């Protein structure tokens, strides 16, 4: 039995969001314990030209939800990128997870060779379905989850590798 694009993406996204949720909870608890304004963590960046913590969560959400949208023709769920609190970020993750849980695996079946056109400010990139998932969507998702982790770790939140990886 071979792995489908659903098998290699949606469960990975769900696990990543479960771990990210726990990391965010630790960040919020750390801020409360140390008397740090939540805004300081939520607006923190690794460097000025990168998105803040809130933007990292938003982009991870988009990276995950666009896979079934682009491959399985699932109807996109609009999210306005207005999250400004930890509660907002948890709601964004919950909404993304609910969307992913509703994805029908057969909707993404046999889509490895379809053309996926990604339009950005710098132009268009054309992928096959397989290359889109493996070469763009998954790495993009993990980039933003990792950056969110790194922002919180940089700000002193006591999280480590196993928080990022989670428990199987």
Q: Architecture of 5-165 per CATH?
A: Up-down Bundle (1.20)
- d(C-alpha 31, C-alpha 157), whole Å: 8
What Å distances lie between residue 156 and 34, 80, 149, 160, CA to CA? 10, 29, 11, 11
Q: What are phi and psi of 116, to 5 degrees?
A: -120, 120
Res 167: pLDDT: 80
Res 1: pLDDT: 59
* 147 HSE (CA, 13 A, CB side): 24
pTM of the model: 0.95
Res 56: pLDDT: 98
Range 25-32, long-range pairs (CB < 8 A, 24+ positions): 26/152, 26/157, 26/158, 26/159, 26/163, 27/53, 27/86, 27/152, 27/155, 27/157, 27/159, 28/86, 30/152, 30/156, 30/157, 30/158
* Domain assignments of the chain as residue spans, ordered by start: 5-165
- In order along its 168 residues, the chain shows pLDDT tens digits of 588 999 999 999 999 999 999 999 999 999 999 999 999 999 999 999 999 999 999 999 999 999 999 998 789 999 999 999 999 999 999 999 999 999 999 999 999 999 999 998 999 999 999 999 999 999 999 999 999 999 999 999 999 999 999 987
């Amino acid at each position: 039995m071979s792995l489908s694009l659903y098998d290699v993406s949606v469960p990975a996204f769900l696990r990543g969001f479960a771990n990210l949720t726990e990391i965010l909870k630790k960040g919020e608890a750390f801020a409360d314990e140390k008397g740090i304004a939540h805004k300081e963590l939520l607006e923190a960046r690794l460097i000025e030209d990168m998105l803040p913590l809130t933007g990292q969560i938003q982009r991870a959400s988009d990276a995950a939800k666009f896979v079934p949208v682009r491959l399985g023709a699932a109807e996109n769920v609009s999210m306005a990128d207005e999250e400004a609190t930890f509660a907002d970020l948890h709601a964004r993750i919950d909404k993304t997870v609910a969307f992913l849980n509703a994805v029908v695996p057969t909707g993404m079946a046999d889509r490895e060779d379809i053309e996926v056109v990604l339009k950005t400010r710098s132009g268009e990139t054309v992928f096959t379905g397989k290359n889109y998932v493996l070469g763009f969507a998954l790495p993009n998702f993990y980039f933003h989850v990792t950056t969110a982790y790194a922002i919180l770790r940089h700000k002193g939140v006591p999280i480590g590798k196993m928080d990022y990886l989670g428990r199987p």
